[in-house]
A and B are shown apart, each in its own frame.
Chain A
Amino acid sequence: MALASAESVAVKHKKIQHSEFMRIVRQVFRGWLTYVAAGFLLLVLVGALFAPWIAPYQLNQPDLTAMLSPPSAQHLMGTDEVGIDLFTEVLYGGRISLMIGFASATVAVVIGGTIGALAGYFGGWVYFVLMRLTDVGLSVPILFVILALTALLGPSPETIIGVISLTSWMYPARITCSQFLTFKQRDFVLSARTVGGRDMRIIVRHIFPNALAPLIVNATLLVGQAIVLESVMSFLGAGIQPPNISWGYLLNQAQSYLTSAPWLSVFPGLMIFLVVLAINVLGDAIRDALDVQAIREGGM
């Protein structure tokens, strides 16, 4: 009797996963690599968020007794030319780099998603105009335009976010547009319209959730792209300026010390590389889990 009741208790507590979302999440985390990538990103995010509490030294605390010293027990990543701890700089720089990366990707996806949705849903001349606009955006040499605009408008973090978004919205737009073109024909849209649903409602509540999948993949990869773009800008001197620092800016400063202090170049760049790598791995895992044909056709 006791055994039977124990069994029935066990059966009663067995949960059956119904949520589509959870199914996808589990599929994303199927391989060990995704755990590593996600774990690393989480680590970096936490480090960046809690930089003021984690950093061993103050940010602008020159230590003239330890200028240009290599990595050691006191200074995990070494020091720069005035003795400021590189690990601290990397932590604080990560805040700006990551913030700009996420913000730019978000704005780009919002802009591109809206444009693509409108173009795909309404078709006709709306489609024509918006797609030409997208073509224009894709035809300009991105880095050049970014540098020119930043030089014209001044290198504040807001400008940088805006400029990067302005040159990255094209792929989300294309993806969203093709998704909308596909789903527009489906029966559930027809039925929504028959019942009297207005355009806006159809777009937002019905089509958009279905169009989300490839957009998410693209958004993930965009974050990595944005981080690299910001780093390139700062590296060339046209990006983040002091007192703000970013990984790219650190690399810019490191150029003068290639021979004397190579660690100044190694660590900030290593951070960029590893973060982008982790993002790519994660993005690929998400894409494999979602397995939508439209992702490939969308241009990524």
Chain B
Amino acid sequence: MGVFIFKRILQSIPVLFGISLLLFFMMHAVPGGPLAMYIHDPGMTKQLLHQLETNLGLNQPLWVQYVNWLWGALHGNFGDSYTYGIPATQMVFDRLPATLLLMLSAFLIAVVFSFIIGVFSALRQYSFWDHVLTVLSYFGVAMPTFWLGLMVVILFAVQLHWLPVGGMSTPGEPFSLWSRIRHLILPVGILAAYLLAHESRYVRSSMLEVLHADYIRTARAKGLQERRVIWRHAVKNALLPVVTIMVMDGAYLFGGALVTETIFSWPGMGRLFIQAISQNDYPVMMFEISLLSVIIVFANILADVLYAVLDPRISYNT
């Protein structure tokens, strides 16, 4: 088992390497390089520009710059934000908890409910409710997240005044768990909607496949209670392919969070990224992308490991 994990991690090193190369050259793809935004600054003279270049080491050959950057990155130094002057890493980590709160809540809700809905749908295949849920899941998958967000804000916050329009908390309102939850409901709901629609379909089809298998028939023939048959045997086996999908969807959450945070003015990493783009704040942009890439790579490894763990048929020595 350990060997398997180790080999998987080893496999991902060239991938991480490739990502770092990609990111670095993205930074230098701008005509004018990382200092492009300073060129139009009226106070900037040729001398100052040259000075900046030397200070930041931008006049060295490209591969030297890359090695320096990579070395710094591996030590956790991604440079200082161009706009605020504080380390890029610090800026991002400040916002990380807010985004994680959003993402984890959405993920949890999506996993639990897609499970329930998927199993329910599979057990009542072709029934009225199954059809309704299938149609709803089609809708959910096609629905652009940001549009749903706008619609929901219009309905619940503006027209009905049930829920706050955005932000993590309302100015002047004392902090309480209920207040936090109220602010979370809409953004988390939006994020979870797509995941729910996507995953419940997989749970359903996986359950259906399992329910027609021979070993389920054997279990029923043995006289086991139906409840036991379903939960102890069918569901456990149906889990397998779904787990991978769920982990991959977790990666989608980052992008989804970006849009959701913009609509609901949520103070998280996604909004920071949008800000960084408009301010041409490359260190922050690059660090966020690097961080997320690393997380995605490890999520993939996690998915593979989980798959191997859950399926005894897969040998660990692949």
Q: Which of B15, B143, B258, B273 has most A Cβ within 10 Å?
A: B15
User: Which residues of A lie under 8 Å from residue B15 when comparing CB positions?
Assistant: 132, 135-136, 139
B144 touches A139 (CB 8 A): no
Residue of B142, B296, B297 touching A224 (CB-CB under 8 A)? B142
Contact residue among A147, A152, A251 (Cβ-Cβ distance under 8 Å from B150): A251
Task: Decide yes or no: A145 and B144 within 8 Å by CB, A152-B26, A236-B259 being known contacts.
Answer: no
Q: Is B88 an interface residue (CB 8 A)?
A: no
Interface assignment of B251: CB less than 8 Å from any CB of chain A: yes
A92 to chain B, nearest CB (A): 19
A132-B29 contact given A147-B273, A148-B289, CB 8 Å threshold: no
Contacts of A266 in B (CB 8 A): 151
- Distance in angstroms between the alpha carbons of A281 and B141 in the assembled complex: 11
Tell whether, in the assembled complex, residue B254 and residue A153 are in contact, meaning their CB atoms are under 8 Å apart: no
Instruction: For chain B, residues 277 to 301, give those with C-beta under 8 angstroms from any C-beta of chain A.
Output: 277-278, 280, 285, 288-289, 292-293, 296-297, 300
Given A132-B14, A273-B143, A139 contacting B277 (CB threshold 8 A): no
Q: Residues 158-176 of chain A: 1 if any B CB is under 8 Å from the residue's CB, otherwise 0?
A: 0000000000000000000
Q: Does A141 contact B (CB under 8 A)?
A: yes
Q: CB-CB < 8 A to A259: which residues of B?
A: 154, 158
**Do A258 and B153 form a contact, CB below 8 Å, given A149-B26, A276-B142, A277-B138?**
yes
| CB–CB A140/B150 < 8 A | no
A215 is an interface residue with CB less than 8 A from chain B: no
Using CB atoms, name the residue of chain A closest to B273. Answer: A144
Encode contact with B along A261-279: 1 for CB under 8 Å, 0 otherwise: 0100110011011001101
Q: Say whether, besides A139-B15, A152-B26, A277-B142, A269 and B150 are in contact (CB < 8 Å).
A: yes
Q: Mark B128-151, 1 if CB is under 8 A from A, else 0.
A: 000000000011011111110011
A-contact bits for B31-51, CB 8 A (1 contact / 0 none): 000000000000000000000
**Residue pair A255, B144 in contact (C-beta under 8 Å):** no
* Nearest-CB residue, chain A, relative to B251: A141
How far, in Å, is A247 (CB) from chain B's closest CB? Answer: 9
Are A258's CB and B150's CB within 8 A? yes
Inter-chain contacts of A143 with B (CB < 8 A):
254-255, 258-259
Q: Interface of A with B (CB < 8 Å)?
A: 132-133, 135-136, 138-145, 147-149, 151-153, 224, 228, 231-232, 235-238, 251, 254-255, 258-259, 262, 265-266, 269-270, 272-273, 276-277, 279-281
16 A-B pairs (CB sep. < 8 Å)? A133-B18, A141-B255, A141-B292, A141-B296, A143-B255, A144-B255, A144-B292, A145-B26, A147-B274, A148-B289, A152-B29, A235-B146, A262-B154, A269-B150, A270-B147, A277-B139
Q: Which residues of B approach A to under 8 Å, CB–CB?
A: 12, 14-15, 18-19, 22, 26, 29-30, 138-139, 141-147, 150-151, 153-154, 158, 251, 254-255, 258-259, 262, 273-274, 277-278, 280, 285, 288-289, 292-293, 296-297, 300
